[in-house]
């Protein structure tokens, strides 16, 4: 089964079960300051999991593009990816464990669908603790379906619990499905969730049935939700009997393009295989970030920094393979051609993708040259003092500050009869990675899509700002990103030049005039086609019949949006632009606040 067939089969299966097929969201989250990228299929649906009404109903399914870089250093093995596709189905206060588990089992094992051997299916559930009981209900459902009790393991909260988005909120146990690959167990304690590779996780059903309180207790929720996720790449690897996700048709055209460029093969040796996989994964991720409708470009901040790191890490490993400068163009072309039928935005943005990749390659070449000069200074100073080993701290500084690969440092030192303290480097690197991981975890748990009164007012103000910018600057203005906290809004938009003081003042005046008119804010549910016909602003999907929410502000603006919003513009206060500057090439950024009039 191919990835295309899996996507189609999954969505068709759940459509037959009464689900609405919705479009996946952008990789760049809207109005969410806590994460840089869409990290999971549930991420864009958090407002609806928290109780907001979804225009498509209470049963949903989709295929969502995701980016996760918290374990970027694991990429290069057989399963870890920074970009991946997640199939998901949701119940928003509709069905619960019985249906979710039964449908998961049916889709996995029925010969009409994936046809996995039920005897190789292993399950994990939440084991319970002093505040929440063991998930006996899920165990009972799995046993009723024929899964033997010895194939069901109960694991602690760190393995089988979906925590709240913030410190408090909806949460609950999950049940995870694994396929026994047939590999020899790593020891007597080997079980689903073990990292040895014997058990391959393929699906995860989350049951949001509790609310964590500020006191740390867990209260039953009145609306119980289901959130599930199945990774496309991992699932087809298992279906095709591949030992690695890189052996499927999603990656073989990419790895073939790499091979054509360097004259080597992915299975030549371990080091070569690792480099192949890093280059393939990182360029693929970069293509999807650059090709996204809200696509960002390489920079030193936020999403642009992550993108720059992905491209530069790919370049480092490409150099190990002997690929020449400009290698990313052919690989990116292959990726666009492989995915354009499923994600047409890649074809639409092909020129931007290729141009930015090539430009970043050239910038990194200059960076490497600076790193070489810095290393030369270090070595000259060492020779003066009769030192023979570059410290791990210095080697890591070259790596972290200049992006200079450790292998380059070792090679140059070796040529001069010197060595590098690799253990010291590994220690510095481990400390850096732990700090980065803590930062990533903190960001993900920071409270997705805040619905406070202050944030709601600022969110509504972005609609006024967007329309005012189009009135003053022209219809080429499109939203490229939005980041809202309780204190301020940050709005990115397409525009080629710095705004003049007169333009900024005119935008401010238009927004404040609209606020003073105290216009009503109303919402209608309509199809994408109807929204387009009525002139609503949005990044539209290709599904004309898909239901969306359209917010109208008096006779001033109409925009597709998920919410939340005020009821009248008079609630907003006084709008003031604090700063306007460049976000990236062709994209400007406004920071603004709402003040008490």
- Collapsing DSSP to helix, strand or coil, 91 comes out as strand
Q: Is the pLDDT of residue 165 over 60?
A: no
Q: Residue 438 has what pLDDT?
A: 53
- Taking Cα atoms as reference points, which of 362, 357, 366, 363 lies closest to residue 286? 357
Q: What is the mean pLDDT of residues 58-67?
A: 96
Q: Residue 435 has what pLDDT?
A: 66
Q: Are strands 59-67 and 20-21 parallel, antiparallel or unpaired?
A: parallel
How is the chain split into domains, by residue range? 3-246, 251-365, 388-448, 453-595
Q: Residue 450 has what pLDDT?
A: 57
Spell out the residues 6+ positions from residue 232 whose beta carbon is closer than 8 angstroms to its own.
3, 6, 7, 63, 84, 85, 86, 87, 250
479-488 pLDDT per residue, tens: 887 888 888 9
pLDDT band at 293 (very low <50, low <70, confident <90, very high): confident
325/316 Cα distance (integer angstroms): 11
CB atoms within 10 A of CB 388: 11
441-469 pLDDT per residue, tens: 443 333 334 567 888 899 999 999 999 99
Q: Residue 232 has what pLDDT?
A: 96
Q: What is the mean pLDDT of residues 504-518?
A: 96
Task: Answer for the pair 173, 205: CB distance below 8 angstroms, yes or no.
Answer: no
Q: What is the mean pLDDT of residues 338-351?
A: 95
- Taking Cα atoms as reference points, which of 411, 510, 390, 407 lies closest to residue 461? 510
In this structure, which CATH number among 3.30.930.10, 3.40.1440.10, 3.40.50.300, 3.40.50.2000 belongs to the domain 3-246? 3.30.930.10
Q: Residue 51 has what pLDDT?
A: 80
Q: Residue 451 has what pLDDT?
A: 67
Q: Residue 364 has what pLDDT?
A: 87
**Tokens 């992915």, located at residue:** 266
Q: What percentage of the chain has pLDDT greater than the value 70?
A: 95
- Collapsing DSSP to helix, strand or coil, 480 comes out as strand
Alpha helices in 113-264 (DSSP H): 136-144, 157-160, 232-239, 252-262
pLDDT band at 111 (very low <50, low <70, confident <90, very high): very high
Q: Residue 33 has what pLDDT?
A: 63
Is 98 or 403 the better-scoring residue by pLDDT? 98
Q: What is the mean pLDDT of residues 489-515?
A: 95
Q: What is the mean pLDDT of residues 282-299?
A: 92
Strand-pair partners of 537: 559
pLDDT band at 230 (very low <50, low <70, confident <90, very high): very high
Q: Residue 411 has what pLDDT?
A: 76
* The pair of three-digit structure tokens given for residue 478, joined into one six-digit string: 């499109």
Mean pLDDT of the chain: 89
Q: Do domains 3-246 and 453-595 have the same CATH topology?
A: no
Identify the weakest region by mean pLDDT among 248-257, 288-297, 535-544. 535-544
Q: Residue 191 has what pLDDT?
A: 92
Predicted TM-score of the model (pTM): 0.78
167-224 pLDDT per residue, tens: 777 789 999 999 998 889 999 889 998 888 899 899 999 999 888 888 888 988 878 9
Q: Residue 44 has what pLDDT?
A: 85
Q: Residue 441 has what pLDDT?
A: 41
Q: Is the pLDDT of residue 539 over 80?
A: no
20-48 pLDDT per residue, tens: 999 999 998 876 666 789 988 888 887 88
- Taking Cα atoms as reference points, which of 393, 387, 396 lies closest to residue 419? 387
* Local structure of residue 473 (DSSP, 8 states): H
Q: Residue 448 has what pLDDT?
A: 34
Alpha helices in 145-198 (DSSP H): 157-160
Q: Residue 305 has what pLDDT?
A: 83
Q: Residue 32 has what pLDDT?
A: 64
The CATH class given to the 453-595 domain equals alpha beta
| Per-range mean pLDDT, top range of 20-29, 135-144, 452-461, 532-541 | 135-144
103/105 Cα distance (integer angstroms): 5
Is 169 or 104 the better-scoring residue by pLDDT? 104
Q: Is the pLDDT of residue 348 over 70?
A: yes
447/163 Cα distance (integer angstroms): 11
């Amino acid at each position: 089964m191919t990835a295309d067939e899996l996507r189609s089969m999954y969505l068709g299966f759940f459509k037959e079960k009464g689900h609405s097929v919705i479009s996946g969201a952008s990789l760049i989250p809207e109005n969410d300051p806590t994460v840089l990228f869409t990290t999971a299929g549930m991420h864009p649906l958090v407002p609806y999991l928290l109780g907001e009404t979804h225009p498509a109903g209470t049963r949903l399914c989709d295929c969502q593009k995701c980016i996760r870089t918290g374990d970027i250093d694991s990429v290069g093995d057989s399963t870890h990816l920074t970009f991946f596709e997640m199939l998901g189905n949701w119940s928003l206060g509709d069905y619960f464990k019985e249906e979710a588990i039964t449908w998961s089992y049916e889709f996995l094992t029925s010969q009409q669908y994936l046809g996995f051997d039920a005897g190789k299916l292993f399950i994990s559930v939440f084991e319970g603790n002093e505040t929440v009981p063991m998930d006996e209900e899920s165990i009972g459902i799995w046993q009723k379906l024929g899964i033997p009790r010895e194939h069901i393991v109960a694991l602690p909260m760190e393995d089988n619990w979906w925590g709240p988005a913030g410190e408090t909120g909806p949460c609950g146990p999950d049940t995870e499905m694994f396929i026994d690959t047939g590999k020899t167990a790593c020891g007597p304690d080997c079980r689903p969730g073990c990292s040895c590779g014997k058990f391959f996780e393929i699906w995860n059903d989350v049951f949001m049935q509790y609310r964590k309180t500020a006191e740390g207790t867990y209260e039953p929720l009145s609306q119980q939700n289901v959130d599930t996720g199945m990774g496309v790449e991992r699932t087809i690897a298992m279906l095709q009997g591949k030992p690695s996700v890189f052996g499927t048709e999603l990656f073989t055209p990419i790895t073939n393009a790499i091979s054509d460029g360097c004259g080597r093969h992915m299975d030549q040796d371990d080091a070569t295989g690792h480099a192949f996989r890093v280059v393939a994964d990182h360029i693929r991720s970069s293509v999807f970030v650059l090709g996204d409708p809200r696509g960002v470009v390489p920079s030193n901040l936020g999403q642009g920094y992550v993108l720059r790191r992905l491209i530069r890490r790919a370049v480092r490993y490409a150099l190990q393979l002997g690929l020449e400068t400009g290698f990313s163009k052919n690989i990116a072309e292959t990726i666009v051609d492989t995915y354009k039928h499923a994600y047409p935005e890649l074809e639409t943005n092909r020129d931007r993708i290729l141009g930015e990749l090539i430009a970043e390659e050239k910038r990194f070449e200059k960076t490497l040259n600076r790193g070489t000069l810095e290393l030369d200074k270090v070595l000259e100073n060492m020779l003066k003092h009769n030192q023979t080993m570059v410290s791990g701290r210095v080697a890591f500084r070259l790596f972290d500050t200049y992006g200079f690969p450790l292998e380059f440092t070792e090679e140059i030192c070796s040529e001069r009869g010197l060595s590098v303290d690799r253990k010291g480097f590994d220690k510095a690197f481990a400390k850096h990675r732990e700090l980065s991981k803590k930062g990533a975890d903190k960001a993900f748990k920071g409270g997705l899509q805040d619905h406070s009164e202050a944030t709601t007012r600022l969110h509504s103000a972005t609609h006024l700002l967007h329309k005012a910018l189009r009135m003053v600057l022209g219809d080429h203005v499109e939203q490229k990103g939005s980041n809202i906290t309780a204190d301020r809004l940050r709005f990115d938009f397409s525009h080629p030049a710095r705004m003049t003081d007169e333009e900024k003042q005119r935008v401010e005046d238009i927004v404040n005039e609209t606020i003073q008119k105290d216009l009503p804010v109303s919402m209608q549910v309509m199809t994408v086609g109807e929204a387009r016909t009525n002139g609503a602003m949005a990044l539209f999907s290709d599904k004309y019949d898909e239901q969306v929410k359209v917010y109208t502000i008096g006779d001033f603006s109409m925009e597709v949006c998920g919410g939340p919003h005020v009821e009248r513009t008079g609630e907003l206060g006084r709008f003031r632009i604090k700063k306007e500057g460049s976000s990236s090439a062709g994209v400007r950024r406004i920071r603004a606040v709402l003040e008490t009039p």
